[in-house]
Amino acid sequence: MGFMLLFFLRLMSALPLRVLHALGRFAGSIVYFVPGRYHNRLRENAAQAGFTEGKFARRAAAETGAMLMELPKVWLQTEQCLALCQNPDSDIVTQTLAENRGVLYLTPHLGCFEITARRLVQYGPITVMFRPPRQSFLEPAMRASRDTPGLHSVPANVQGIREFVRALRRGEAVGMLPDQVPSSGDGVWLPFFEKRAYTMTLAAKLALQTKVPVVLTAGERLPKGQGWKIHYLRLPEPFPDNVDDMALLINQGMETLIQRFPEQYLWSYNRYKVPPEAPPIPEHLR
């Protein structure tokens, strides 16, 4: 079944990007109008960030569809997609890398978050963290998507974290998603668009332990299948001296980046869920 899926994805990847985006936006709009948890969560999360209009939520749903439909092309036609990337802020990356301290790239669920690591490989090797798919039949497709020269994938576990630290100490680059809700108790309750969200501390700990610069990045989806504009935002140094404040700084950086093209954030993601292992929100923070 996995190889059949991979064959289907290869067929999809042959379609023009403009067609894939159009199909995705149409499908995303249709799904949005189906009453249920997806519709409600998208509206609630967007409204929490100040985007209360229904037309904003509809456009955000359409962009989610476009994000899903572009994945086969990004995974399997990488060189073609990289040729469609605009990189006006590349000086941020080159200046950061010139310090030879390593770099921690953080890519939130914004725009095309699969294109950014592939673009950053052009500056040198990068180690990224991934979670194996829950459905085993997806593994061949996921393996093909990770088969990119210079892009080294490690699992999201203790061994992967150790490889991250080793890469950073060698002065190399690593990348991860900073806005995933931690499944274990290794998190802290911090504001995200003025509402407490259970926030991972891994990125903050890595930054403080290895003393590397932190750059947030995202690929803005351009209209009419023109490609993507890669955004970069380097967090100001010196960093706070404790993990909680560093994690808050990362959340604030994500908010700033999301505000650049908010319709392309994955507002349907359950960012404010309460994992079973999470401690309760302190009363004075509610």
- Residue given tokens 């990289």 in the structure block: 82
Q: What pLDDT was estimated at residue 29?
A: 96
Q: Is the pLDDT of residue 217 over 60?
A: yes
| Helix (H) and strand (E) counts in the chain | 11, 9
**144 domain-assigned:** yes
H or E, element range at 153: strand 151-155
Mean pLDDT of 274-282: 83
**77 domain-assigned:** no
Q: What pLDDT was estimated at residue 7?
A: 78
**178 domain-assigned:** yes
**274 domain-assigned:** yes
Q: Is the pLDDT of residue 119 over 70?
A: yes
Q: What pLDDT was estimated at residue 138?
A: 57
**217 domain-assigned:** yes
List, for residues 108-118, the tens digit of each pLDDT value: 999 999 999 99
Confidence category of residue 244, pLDDT binned at 50, 70, 90: very high
Confidence category of residue 158, pLDDT binned at 50, 70, 90: confident
Q: What pLDDT was estimated at residue 137?
A: 52
The share of the chain scoring above pLDDT 70, in percent, equals: 91
Mean pLDDT of 51-70: 97
Q: What pLDDT was estimated at residue 6?
A: 73
Domain that holds residue 231: 86-285
Mean pLDDT of 163-187: 90
Q: What pLDDT was estimated at residue 9?
A: 83
Identity of the amino acid at 83: A
Q: Considering the chain, what is the average pLDDT of its residues?
A: 91
Q: What pLDDT was estimated at residue 227?
A: 97
Confidence category of residue 81, pLDDT binned at 50, 70, 90: very high
Q: What pLDDT was estimated at residue 157?
A: 84
Q: Is the pLDDT of residue 222 over 70?
A: yes
Which range has the worst mean pLDDT, 126-140, 161-175, 248-262? 126-140
Q: Which residue has the higher pLDDT, 283 or 282?
A: 282
Q: Is 197 helix (H, G, I), strand (E, B) or coil?
A: strand
Residue 104 CB-half CA count within 13 A: 26
| Helices 17-32 and 54-76, packing angle to 10 deg | 140
Mean pLDDT of 233-261: 97
Mean pLDDT of 101-127: 94
Q: What pLDDT was estimated at residue 71?
A: 92
Identity of the amino acid at 182: P
H or E, element range at 209: helix 202-210
**223 domain-assigned:** yes
Q: What pLDDT was estimated at residue 155?
A: 82
**75 domain-assigned:** no
**57 domain-assigned:** no
**What total number of domains does the chain contain?**
1
Q: What pLDDT was estimated at residue 280?
A: 82
Q: What pLDDT was estimated at residue 135?
A: 55
